[in-house]
Structure 1
Amino acid sequence: MQPPTVGVPTEVKQEEHRVAITPDGVRELLHAGSDVLVQSGAGADSSVPDEDYERAGATIVATAEEVWARADLVCKVKEPLESEFAHFRPGLVLFTYLHLAAYPGVADALLDSGVTGIAYETVQLPDGTLPLLAPMSEVAGRMSVQIGAHLLERHNGGRGVLLGGAPGVRPARVVVLGAGNVGWNAAWMAAGLEAEVDLLDKNIDRLRHVDQIQMGRITTITSNRGAVERCVADADLVIGAVLVPGGRAPTVVSEDMVRSMKRGSVVIDIAIDQGGCIETSHETTHAEPTYVVHDVVHYAVGNMPGAVPHTSTHALTNATLPYLAELSRLGVPDAVRRDPALGRGVNTMAGQVANASVAEALGRPAAELDDLLTAG
């Protein structure tokens, strides 16, 4: 089998500064036999110049059109925008964050064009962990506290509260909803800044793990409607970090709960790229990241890690590269047969939805991946 040509276009989502591969990643793909096309300037905002890609062996091409047209496998960071749908064609493989539950229009375009869409966020190991979501979840979780502390400052519309307080003054109360990678990192950072932190989750084992590590520095609380209502009402900063792999995030914080919060409190909905877990949230951008509802500052940027692209690009490539190399070396059918975790990442193939959770979220029937691979 002739290894596929891998293409890496510049990201076009507003204020998205990451790039899907590093020069070290290029070298690994070349070792696997693939040619790698990188759009000129794709890595500039991540502090990776074209020259570094060229030294690694990549071919620099001038336009996105050329990348998409010449590549068999396109590797991106964020879900494609409508302006990129024209590049879709049968037989193309797209490997990126797709978040189809939140962006059904992207799903329609992939299905109509016959693109094989493999989503980072649904690649899932047997123990349930999401290895390609984890690095960006860690970055987003840590960023949420940094951003929340900034938004709590009075000139940014907040209550004028210092996250860690001061001697003789109570610190801010931070409520984190969800104890997965996002929530755990958010809680850890908030505790490190000496805030009072409540971490809520339905999974007792996960809470037990946090409690054993933090030894009481983070208060762990079993999540239910009553507990969420009480915690949110008393919070200075609420961080929504709830995830359903492949599906739409559940609404955990209702509008009435937001209405109960103190004037100038802040909510950050990190789950917004899966539809959001706070009823009053809608997706915002880095250019206009906040808005106010019921006197509460809302932040719901869908690509938070894009604000720290150098860190994010390297963290993301560290996680995605082994899977990308598998796809390059073996092709999609053999790669997903050999690695069931990668198989769970296949969201669309041959005009059908191949992931049950994604299909349910989209209200579409799910095809068996084995049947699609056999037919192909």
Structure 2
Amino acid sequence: MIIGVPEEVKNNEFRVSMTAPGVHELVRNGHTVLVQNGAGVGSGITDVEYVAAGAEIVVDAAELWARSDMVVKVKEPVSSEYVHFRKGLVLFTYLHLAAEPELTHALLTSGVTAIAYETVQLGNTLPLLAPMSAVAGRLSVQVGAQYLTAPFGGKGMLLGGVPGVRPANVAILGAGVSGTHAAAMAIGAGADVTIMDINIARLQELDDHYQGRLKTVASNAFEIERSLVQADLVIGSVLIPGAKTPKLVSNELVSRMLPGSVLVDIAVDQGGCFADTHPTTHADPTFKVHNSLFYCVANMPGAVPNTSTYALTNVTLRYTLALASLGVRGALGSDPVLLAGLNVAGGSVTHHSVATAHGLVLSHDWKSLI
């Protein structure tokens, strides 16, 4: 199979979908890998390294897409890339289609087979989303601490305080991978941290692990309100696989929050869990809502591309190799974990959450579509 690795074109996206070791593994198994010129520079990977691993460097993006049987990306295609879609093409990347009606339509009309990293599911885990969720969770505390400082528009507060001065009050919505990593970072920085979730068993695990250093609260509207009106930093990390994120924080509630408080919405890719969330970029990451500052960058891990690229390839490579070696039908048919990632094929929606989000008919017969 011919696998294409294009340069990411989303605003300030420096990650790339394949490392040089990943290329080497695919080539070693008899596949051809096309890498767009300069695609890895943002992640510290040169064209020379890719060539040494066996890749062919392609200058023109249109040529790369046209020659590839499967295109492996990091972020969902932007509108300028829709022109490359065609019947028979396999697209393997983060898609977040529940929050992307235009992209969903473009994929359906073109006949692309689209497999989304974020819905590949193993039991209750999302193995291809987990490393980026970990990065985003840890990064959310770093950026939250930065934007709490006065030069960045915050209240001028040090996250961990100092002796004699209270630390920041951090409220985390969601105790999944992102929320757990955010809690670890915030506790490590010395903040006063509360995490909320509807999964009591998960809260029990965290309580046992942190031995009282982390406050755990069963999530409901009353407790969210009580926590947020006292919070200096709020991190939204709620996720329903493949579906739009529920809005847990209203505009009215934000109006009653402490002036200068910061809200970081990790869930922005799936629509966000704050009512006023809209996607921002690393070039222009924040906006004000009442007296609070919102940070809603839709590709947070793109700020640390070296770490993120290697973490991503570590988990995607085995599935990329399976798709290339067995073919799409063979790989999906032999692995229900990967099959859960199939979102669109042959002009039909094949994932229930995407169909529900857009009011589309769900196809259950994926084999007839590929």
TM-score of the aligned structures, taking structure 1 as reference length: 0.97
Letter in 1 for 2:140: S
Please state whether the residue corresponding to 1:331 is helix, strand or coil.
helix
> What residue is the counterpart of 1:72 in the other structure?
69
Aligned pairs (5 A) from 1:215-364: 215-364=211-360
Letter in 1 for 2:42: D
1:372 correspondence with 2:366? yes
Aligned pairs (5 A) from 1:11-50: 11-50=8-47
Letter in 2 for 1:107: T
Q: How many angstroms apart in 2 are the aligned matches of 1:285 and 1:80?
A: 15
> What residue is the counterpart of 2:96 in the other structure?
99
Aligned length: 370
Q: How many angstroms apart in 1 are the aligned matches of 2:152 and 2:319?
A: 42
Q: How many angstroms apart in 2 are the aligned matches of 1:213 and 1:31?
A: 43
> What residue is the counterpart of 2:186 in the other structure?
190
Please state whether the residue corresponding to 1:101 is helix, strand or coil.
helix
Please state whether the residue corresponding to 1:238 is helix, strand or coil.
strand
Q: How many angstroms apart in 1 are the aligned matches of 2:60 and 2:36?
A: 6
> What residue is the counterpart of 2:87 in the other structure?
90
Q: How many angstroms apart in 1 are the aligned matches of 2:369 and 2:187?
A: 52
Is contact 2:345–2:369 with CA below 8 Å preserved after alignment? no
Q: How many angstroms apart in 2 are the aligned matches of 1:100 and 1:357?
A: 9
Give the Å deviation of 1:211.
1.0
Q: How many angstroms apart in 2 are the aligned matches of 1:33 and 1:27?
A: 10
Unpaired runs of at least 5, structure 2: none
C-alpha RMSD of matched pairs (Å):
0.7
Give the Å deviation of 1:66.
1.1
User: Kindly, what percent of the aligned residue pairs are identical?
Assistant: 55
Please state whether the residue corresponding to 1:53 is helix, strand or coil.
helix
Q: Of the candidates 99, 105, 109, which is equivalent to residue 112 of structure 1?
A: 109
Q: How many angstroms apart in 1 are the aligned matches of 2:25 and 2:99?
A: 33
Runs of 4+ in 1 over 3 A off after TM superposition: none
Q: How many angstroms apart in 1 are the aligned matches of 2:45 and 2:327?
A: 28
Give the Å deviation of 1:26.
0.4
Is contact 2:15–2:74 with CA below 8 Å preserved after alignment? yes
Give the Å deviation of 1:227.
0.2
Q: How many angstroms apart in 2 are the aligned matches of 1:280 and 1:77?
A: 26
Q: How many angstroms apart in 2 are the aligned matches of 1:372 and 1:296?
A: 46
Please state whether the residue corresponding to 2:35 is helix, strand or coil.
strand
Give the Å deviation of 1:92.
0.1
Please state whether the residue corresponding to 2:99 is helix, strand or coil.
coil
Is contact 2:249–2:275 with CA below 8 Å preserved after alignment? yes
Unpaired runs of at least 5, structure 1: none
TM-score of the aligned structures, taking structure 2 as reference length: 0.99
Aligned pairs (5 A) from 1:145-224: 145-224=141-220
Letter in 2 for 1:103: E
